[in-house]
């Protein structure tokens, strides 16, 4: 069975600095998708970024980039130039049909 691990329950970052949120995964399927979602305190799940297992390049979406290291089975999210509005829970997920989510990392951006 696939498994998603987020080892950082909480992270702090200074406003305008970059932060990396860790995610490792385990699967025997050669084809899979990796996702990051943001969940602010209001509760909704906001899609941030997607990486396909066969994609050669790391995905980027504005200030978000995904550091995909397939051999190490890691898919870390990098947020550049952090803003106060980035404070939220961040979930890594893998899709082999349905989404399986990690436990999440609570990011707090300090002014």
Partner 1 sequence: EPEVTQTPSHQVTQMGQEVILRCVPISNHLYFYWYRQILGQKVEFLVSFYNNEISEKSEIFDDQFSVERPDGSNFTLKIRSTKLEDSAMYFCASQGEVETQYFGPGTRLLVL
Chain residues binding partner 1 by CB under 8 A are: 33, 35, 37, 42-47, 50, 52, 91, 93, 95, 97-104
What does 5-57 look like in DSSP terms, one character per residue?
E---SEEEEETTS-EEE--EEE-S-SS-EEEEEEE-TT---EEEEEEETT-SS
Smallest distance, partner 1 to C-beta of residue 17, A: 27
Smallest distance, partner 1 to C-beta of residue 38, A: 11
**Is 18 or 46 the residue whose CB approaches partner 1 more closely?**
46
């Amino acid at each position: 069975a696939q498994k998603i691990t987020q080892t950082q329950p909480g992270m702090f970052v200074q406003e305008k600095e970059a932060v990396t949120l860790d995610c490792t995964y385990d699967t025997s399927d050669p084809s899979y998708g990796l996702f990051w979602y943001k969940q602010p305190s209001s509760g909704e799940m906001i899609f941030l970024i997607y990486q396909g297992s066969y994609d050669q390049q790391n995905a980027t979406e504005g200030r978000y980039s995904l550091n995909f290291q397939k051999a190490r089975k890691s898919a870390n999210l990098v947020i550049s130039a952090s803003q106060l509005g980035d404070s939220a829970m961040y979930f890594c997920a893998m899709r082999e049909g349905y989404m399986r989510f990690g436990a999440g990392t609570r990011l707090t951006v300090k002014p």
